[in-house]
Amino acid sequence: MPKKVKKKKKPRPIKERPLPIKEEGQEYAIATKMLGNGRVSLKCMDGIDRLGKIRGKMRKRVWIAAGDYLLISLRDFQDGKADIIMKLRDDEIRRLKKLEELPDDNKTNDDDTFIFKDEDEDEIDLDEI
């Protein structure tokens, strides 16, 4: 009788997807803590802590851990809650940091708020005041 041999699974190629740049009503965030039941504690790039809800299409398919970068959709009626749209890959994070969409890891204040450079702001000399 022939031996029963398991077939090896072929690795699936990673699909190339377009760079997820945030639109109006969206924000980048970092998962700080998994709370269970599809909920995640988030630290958003605008400095607000929010409660994120993993959308149904991502449940059981995309695993989120603390420290992952996420693209979230803000709710109009609840400022403290958001919906998680997608998990960003490492190569996407690097490319977004190059485009200065995401702040570098060393561009944070002591109280873990992120610093963004606004192009509209002019530098102010304290000597002139």
Query: Where exactly are the structural domains of the chain?
Result: 26-95
**What residues contact residue 126 under an 8 Å CB cut-off, 6+ apart?**
none
Q: What angle do CA 12, 38, 91 make, to 5 degrees?
A: 40
Reply yes or no on whether the pLDDT at 122 is more than 60. Answer: no
For residues 103 and 98, what is the distance between their CA atoms, to the nearest angstrom? 9
- In this prediction, residue 110 carries a pLDDT of 46
pTM: 0.70
- In this prediction, residue 18 carries a pLDDT of 87
R_g of the chain, CA atoms, integer Å: 20
For domain 26-95, the CATH superfamily is Nucleic acid-binding proteins (2.40.50.140)
The continuous run of DSSP H or E covering 93 comes out as helix 90-98
- In this prediction, residue 4 carries a pLDDT of 81
* Beta strands per DSSP E along 37-116: 39-44, 49-54, 69-74, 81-87
More confident residue, 42 or 128: 42
Q: Mean pLDDT throughout 106-126?
A: 52
Q: For the segment 92-111, what is each residue's pLDDT rounded down to a tens digit? A: 999 999 988 888 764 544 45
- In this prediction, residue 42 carries a pLDDT of 94
- In this prediction, residue 88 carries a pLDDT of 93
According to DSSP, residue 53 is labeled E
Q: For the segment 5-50, what is each residue's pLDDT rounded down to a tens digit? A: 888 888 888 778 888 888 999 999 999 999 989 999 999 998 899 9
Q: Nearest-CA neighbor of 72 among 82, 57, 62?
A: 82
- Out of 34-38, 86-90, 103-107, 115-119, which region has the weakest mean confidence (pLDDT)? 115-119
